[in-house]
Homo-oligomer: A and B are copies of this chain.
Amino acid sequence: MSDVFDNVMDLARRRGFVWPTTECYGSVAGFIDYGPLGTLVKRRIEDLWRQFYVISEGYYEIECPTIGQEAMYIASGHVKGFSDKMCQCPACSEYLRADHVAEAHQVKNAATLSCEDLARSICTLPCPACGKKLGTVEVFSFNLMFQTNIGPGSQRKGYLRPETAQGIFVDFGRLLRFYRDKLPFGTVQIGKSYRNEISPRQGMIRLREFTQAEAEIFVHPEEKEHPNFRRYAEYAFPLLSSEQQLAEVEAKTYTMADAVSKKVIANEYVAYYLALTHELLVTAGVNPQKLRFRQHLPDERAHYAEDCWDAEIFSERFGWVETVGIADRTDYDLRAHADQSGDSFTVYLQYETPRREKRRIINANMGVLGPKYRGKAKAISDALQETTPGKDGATVTIDGEEIFVPADLYEVREEEVDVRGEDIRPHVIEPSYGIDRMIYAVLEHSYHEDEVEGEVRKVMRFPARISPIQVAVFPLMARDGLDTIAGSITRELQNQGILAEYDDSGAIGRRYRRQDEIGTPFAITVDYDTPENETVTLRDRDSMKQVRVRKDQLADLIPALIRGKVAFSSLN
């Protein structure tokens, strides 16, 4: 029995959205090709993402290499911790995710078990590939980074990046100067990331090579009010907080202002990007009825994260699929790179006005200290500054030797000093999008079948700005000059940057169906009235209604319709 997944993927293969890769040599799981129409959809979704993050938010994009050196991934924790637990079936030699085998047989918390405990819990279970009992198997960690060598002689290890974020973190110093040493600022990256999955089997949902769009927003740790929060303060949608999940109750609709004030969401920054993500996904064509925001439970949230939410999209085949993650990662990443590299990864922020701060000064009586401690007197005097003296005196350590200095050898007093600023290590707010999953969701949610004149019409109801082909141009017949007129309309629209497709083959009804199936929102037909009165018909994909418009209006009208500035229903 076929479900919408089968229908969508059949259409996607047939019409050139998504193809298995290198089919003639046998495809490799976890890799796909975007065909001509799929690539257009991908570009349009990436550009929509840029419209939100780069142009509106003002977060510049950078582009770092996909191959990174080892030190970076030691710092980020990927060399040590980015792994899955796997085993190999002794009978059929298939590689298996040990935690998945356990989970499929209701072993609790399989994802959190150690290798030894997992091995114990699966030894009585059957191999999902061959069905034989697994018995005694070794469970081991398999690092999910693709590894390679840079340059000859294999001296230098390189890894294909498992996420785009690290490239931004290590550029923090340069970025800070670019943003003129002020917080907050954001930087984004869109590009390929890689995870060497053990046995990916979910089409576009689990890829070994995939596209991420990530924003890293650097904020003052104590200033998590978004400067533009107003924009989404009253924006409302259902939230499934960790509390609600633990109480096993339904998602509840909040405005972002409410969610922050009731502490459902940790701060304005996280709330702002939940709302922006909601708006972006729906604009791209995700059905809002099949979209929810789920907070990480305490035991799934990274220890350093202050808050973390997933935008999950419902798929008929795969259930709720995590598509976007939005987290307050605190200063974890910058601190990790500071520790590994020795660079500071901080920003010196001047106070608006210098702060008067009390500071304790300890003045040694050198007249006594000098003769008493001789060569060590200066070191003792300096060391005293750092101590907290007791009632009788203070103990300092000089060259490993503990020295007790009686209270009468120094004087303690408090002074007021001007402090002009401080070194701050920013916190990071990170919205991270899986572009391929987003594309799959848009394909699935756009797919519709209806009946037209007794026949099934398959139609991809993409939002006009996502549709691969933006307008089709047909001559009613490929002769009598109609083809010439249609050709020149096509070229004129192309010169404006519109992706217009000319098609003169087959019956007009079949040409409409072909465009419906790939989601082309509008079709222009040049007929025998066109040479007479300079008008063409313009057809709307969803309503299938047609109106006549003047040919010389098209250059303005088509871009306006695609950008949603004019509604088709407002014509005639």
A153 interfacial by beta-carbon distance below 8 Å: yes
A28/B178 in contact, CB under 8 A: no
CB-based contact B72/A43 at 8 Å: no
Determine the distance from Cα of A19 to Cα of B176 in the docked complex, in whole angstroms: 13
Q: CB < 8 Å: which of B43, B156, B196, B343 contacts A28?
A: B156
Q: Are A61 and B33 neighbours in the complex by a CB distance under 8 Å?
A: no
Q: How far is the CA of A170 from the CA of B341 in the complex (A)?
A: 44
Contact (Cβ within 8 A) A55 B494: yes
Contact A209 B33 (CB under 8 A): no
| Contact between chains at A64 and B174 (CB < 8 Å) | no
- Known interface pairs A55-B494, A187-B36. Does A61 touch B86 (Cβ–Cβ under 8 Å)? no
State whether the Cβ of A148 lies closer than 8 Å to any Cβ in chain B.
yes
Q: Is the C-beta of A171 less than 8 angstroms from some C-beta in chain B?
A: yes
Restricting to A137-160, which residues have a CB under 8 Å from any CB of B?
142, 146-153, 156, 158, 160
The answer to whether B25 touches A72, judged by C-beta atoms less than 8 angstroms apart, is yes
Q: Is A60 an interface residue (CB 8 A)?
A: yes
CB contacts under 8 Å to B, within A168-204, are 170-171, 173-175, 178, 180, 187, 192, 194, 196-199
Interface positions of A from 23 to 46, Cβ below 8 Å from B: 23-26, 28-40, 42-43
Residues of B within 8 A of A170 (CB): 22-25
The answer, yes or no, to whether A51 is at the interface (CB within 8 Å) is: yes
Do B65 and A66 touch across chains, with their CB atoms under 8 A apart? no
Q: Residues of B contacting A60 with CB < 8 Å? A: 16, 36-37, 39-40
Contacts of A39 in B (CB 8 A): 60-63
Does any Cβ of B come within 8 Å of A71's Cβ?
yes
**A175 — which chain B residues lie within 8 A by C-beta?**
35-36
A95 adjacent to chain B (CB < 8 Å): yes
Q: With contacts A28-B150, A95-B153, A150-B196 known, is A21 near B209, CB below 8 A?
A: no
- In angstroms, Cα B151 to Cα A142, docked, is 10
Which residues of chain B are near A156, meaning CB under 8 Å?
28
- Indicate whether A337 reaches chain B with its CB closer than 8 angstroms: yes
Instruction: Decide yes or no whether A346 CB sits under 8 A from chain B.
Output: no
Taking a contact as CB atoms under 8 Å apart, the answer to whether A95 and B24 are in contact is no
Give the residue among A38, A61, A86, A340 with the most B Cβ atoms within 10 A. A61
The smallest C-beta distance from A160 to any residue of chain B, in angstroms, reads 7
The 5 closest A-B pairs by CB, nearest first: A36-B60, A24-B341, A25-B71, A34-B63, A31-B65
Q: Hey, which bits of chain A sit against chain B, CB under 8 A? A: 15-16, 19, 21-26, 28-40, 42-43, 51, 54-56, 60-69, 71-72, 86, 88, 95, 142, 146-153, 156, 158, 160, 167, 170-171, 173-175, 178, 180, 187, 192, 194, 196-199, 208-209, 337, 340-343, 494-495, 497-499, 505
A–B Cβ pairs within 8 angstroms, 22 of them: A16-B178, A21-B167, A22-B72, A24-B173, A24-B337, A28-B156, A30-B150, A31-B67, A32-B65, A33-B62, A34-B63, A36-B62, A36-B178, A37-B60, A55-B499, A56-B495, A67-B160, A146-B158, A148-B148, A151-B196, A152-B198, A192-B192
